[in-house]
Amino acid sequence: MDRYSQAGVDLDLAATVKAGLRGIVQKSTRPEVLGAIGGFGGLFRPTFSAYREPVLVASIDGVGTKLKVAALANRHQGVGEDLVHHCVNDILTTGGEPLFFLDYVGTSRLDPDSFRDILHGMSRACRRIGCALLGGETAQMPGMYHDDEYDLVGAIVGVVDRRALLPREEMEEGDLLIGLRSSGLHTNGYSLARKVLFEEGNLSLAARIPGCRLSLAEELLRVHRCYLPELRRLRRLRLPLQGIAHITGGGLPENLPRILPKRLDARIEIKSWRIPPLFRFLTKVGQISQEESYRVFNMGIGMVLVASAVHGEKIAHAINGRIIGRLVPGKGRVLLC
């Protein structure tokens, strides 16, 4: 055994695993991609003929401690999809359309099966929405992570026409707030959820909680919903939006203000949608206050669209959304009513 392997880094294993990547990644490509996978940098030759004034939009994010649940359940494909969907949703808030995606996996010890599952998940998510999986990096770092732990980070680049950039300055009193349902926790709140469910509640991954037909593992690992299909439908129907907020860490109270002008508040009617059973269970068993629960969790709403009163009802109907509030005079805050 060579000295590097003794130190915890297996170069031969890494080379073997990486040799099989090309076939997976090539399934999620686009005509603009140049060169082969494995270079020092990915190449993408964009064509912006459909845009009057193209603006690139980029974002980077991770999956958080949802990875802990994936490791416990030994189910990793979903977190690859989670990562892509989270990043796509972030650039949707500008009106952007995804072009390409890159990933980073840092681990203590490279597990070939887990790594391929993650990559298959990312590739499937990119292929489904027409985004190129352009490349990535895998790092073995014994001592930085424990046992089979790993971290997962993704970066995305998209494009939007400057005249279509969101949010718009034309937001005004009376504009409607349209909520799109989440599929579950998405990728936020897992540190508190794990504490409540596994440490305090002493529940197993196989447990079923009231109102949920799936096991706890399946509920917690529901894939982060991607809202690109809904936004593409609105573009085809030429239904305009004033703004979009992705409800991630910080929940409704901290994400909606990121798109609001300082002269308006978002008044949310929290009884306008049914809180999913998982969130009800977490807040009850964990004795989490309403204020904290809406800051930690999405509480069943994964994205909020702002639309004029003229178009709001039609937009909500077109994408199976729900009107959950409206804009009122204020100071750029969220009011939970």
169 falls within a domain? no
Q: What is the DSSP letter of 248?
A: -
Same domain? 267 vs 146: no
- CA torsion 319-327-293-81 (nearest 10°) is 30
Q: What CATH code is carried by the domain that includes residue 84?
A: 3.30.1330.10
Q: CB of 142 within 8 A of CB of 108?
A: yes
Decide: 132 and 72 in contact? Cβ < 8 Å. no
**What tens digit of pLDDT does each residue of 81-127 get?**
999 999 999 999 999 999 999 999 998 887 888 888 999 999 999 99
Phi, psi (deg, nearest 5) at residue 210: -55, 130
- Least Cα distance to 38 among 113, 163, 136 occurs for 136
- Give me the numbers of helices (H) and strands (E) for the chain, helices first please: 13, 12
Q: Do residues 180 and 313 both lie within one domain?
A: yes
307-324 pLDDT, tens digit per residue, is 999 999 999 999 999 999
pLDDT, one tens digit per residue, over 243-301 is: 999 999 999 999 999 999 999 999 999 999 999 999 999 999 999 999 999 999 999 99
Tell which of 135, 164, 193 closes a domain: 164
145 within domain boundaries? yes
Radius of gyration of the chain (CA): 21
User: Could you give the C-alpha distances from 320 to 189, 302, 315, in angstroms and in order?
Assistant: 25, 13, 8
Strand segments, DSSP code E, in the chain are 33-34, 43-44, 54-62, 97-107, 132-140, 150-161, 176-181, 243-246, 264-268, 301-307, 322-329, 334-336
Q: Are residues 258 and 217 in the same domain?
A: yes
> Does residue 17 carry a pLDDT above 80?
no
One domain, residues 225 and 154:
no
Residues 69 and 152 placed together within one structural domain of the fold: yes
Mean pLDDT in residue range 53-63: 97
The 8 Å CB, 24+ separation contacts for 10-17 are 10/109, 10/110, 10/140, 13/110, 13/112, 14/110, 14/138, 14/140, 16/112, 17/110, 17/112, 17/115, 17/116, 17/138
Q: Is 143 exposed, middle or buried (0-12, 13-18, 19+ CB in 10 A)?
A: exposed
Domain that holds residue 308: 176-336
- 127 and 16 co-located in one domain: yes
Domain holding 303: CATH number? 3.90.650.10
Distance of CA 257 to the CA centre of its chain: 19
* Measured distance CA(172)–CA(65) in Å, rounded: 38
Say how far apart CA 333 and CA 329 lie, in whole Å.
Answer: 10
Domain count, the chain: 2
pTM: 0.93
Cα separation, 336 vs 226, whole angstroms: 25
Residue 18 maps to a domain: yes
One domain, residues 136 and 25: yes
Helix (H, G, I), strand (E, B) or coil at 229: helix
Same domain, 266 and 195: yes
The answer to whether residues 159 and 206 belong to one domain is no
In a domain, 171, yes or no: no
Return the pLDDT at 27. Answer: 73
Cα–Cα distances (Å) from 215 to 118, 191, 219, in that order, read 21, 19, 6
Q: How far is CA 235 from CA 89, 92, 141, in A?
A: 16, 12, 44
